[in-house]
Structure 1
Amino acid sequence: MFTVKKTLVWGWMLCAALAGCATSPPEPVDRPAPEPKPQLTEAQKRERYIADLLYGAERALSRDRLMMPGYDNAYDRYSSVLALEPNNSEAKLGMQAIVLRYLDMARNAAQRSYFDKAQAYLDRASGVLPDNAAVQSLVDQQREALAKPEPRLEAQNAHRLSTTALAKRTDEIKQQLAHLAQTAKEHNHMVLIVTGSDGQGRWVYQTMRKAVPGYLLRGDIQVGAPARIELLPPL
């Protein structure tokens, strides 16, 4: 009897101990709610948008994406800034930089006798700031220079052609022209052909083209002296 009672007592004590050790669910902890992000004012949104436009315009300008392509060019971005802030000095300077770059490209094209390309660059320069008298004056001055081009100086790396060999269309001149055509192809150079007549220049060009079948040999022909071939880097 004693043993049974003792067993019951110990059992009761064990159950009580286990009940006391049972863990209840943790009480919820009150955490402060996250502070809401400050809302930008309309003025701040506008300022950030303009800053993004100016950054993109500078990147496009540095890559000569002046007015093209339509989805990524400096002119459109600077124009958007000026529509929002007509007196934005950074955008005004950017527009002037576009004009100066086009004028520089026009001079480089004219020096290589690419007069059509030079005129196209001048047309774009004129369209950037059509109401700016100073810009239009610069463009007009350069157009006058194109209308009266100075005689082209012979480049230091020009390859002279024998006028006698040209007149006779010898095998030696054909080999020389073929070699120059291959060099132009390897380095992606454009070719300026200077000869005594336009017909002679066309023969030189056709001879060079035959030496590089399947390759579009880009170049121009100019009447002048001495007879020569100039290999020009692409514009």
Structure 2
Amino acid sequence: MSKNRVSLLFFVLFLTGCQGNVVPSKSVSLEREAEPVIETERVTLEATQPMDEQDTLGVEEEAPIVKPEKQLTAAERLTLSLIEQGEAALSAERLLTPEDDNANLYFQAALGRDPGNFKATLGIAAIVDVYTQWAWEAALSHDYNKSDRYLESAHSVNPEDPMIVEMSSRVNDLMNKRAHTPKAVYKQPERKEPKEGQYLLPESLFSLSEDEIIAEIQPIIDEVRKTEQAIEIYWPDDKEARLIYQIINSRVTAFRVRAMTYHRADYMVELQQD
């Protein structure tokens, strides 16, 4: 073997031996330094979770606390029952009557058991309000006697209520004002003379007694029986017009009376001509 080949072989073996003895210290060092960085990021992410999510994990919601209702005593239950009966009587306008079942009786009894009871006090005031309002409405209708009676009833419920004094003053002022106001003279409108087959009736027909009403309508009944004619009723109140027809028809038994009603203030019944 030549010297050149031996030298080359020796050189190759030397290089191979050097590569096998090299220690990769830098690679190991880099890998070990990278590990803490990854761990730190994981810990940081866990720490940044919202506190409310962390706190609520695995925690059950607590049921609302229900406070027990206050137990009423027998006396309190009786007072409450009296007030409820008083309110029912007030709604039905049983204010002072009947004697053993009226709003004032129940509310006064409740106040006797529990002086100053708020609902019973309101009930008494409500009774006074109703009576004073009725007193004013009666005064507006010129029925001053009825107005006085309502005010007396209110006074019997609670004489200390200032509404009674106020309403009495209002009613007196109304009476004085009307007393000094000249009354308008009402002139009865002239009524046309009825033609044949027409029967005029008084405008105040239904303010008369039953016998007087029949006496006014009887000539119409007699004529309808005889002629069997249909009738026309001219009256401003439809209910009263129907009542006139019912009176006539009920007294004509041989046949059913045919009729038409007209909403006119003629106060007249007319027989239809064939």
Normalising by the residue count of structure 2, what TM-score does the alignment of the two structures yield? 0.42
Normalising by the residue count of structure 1, what TM-score does the alignment of the two structures yield? 0.49
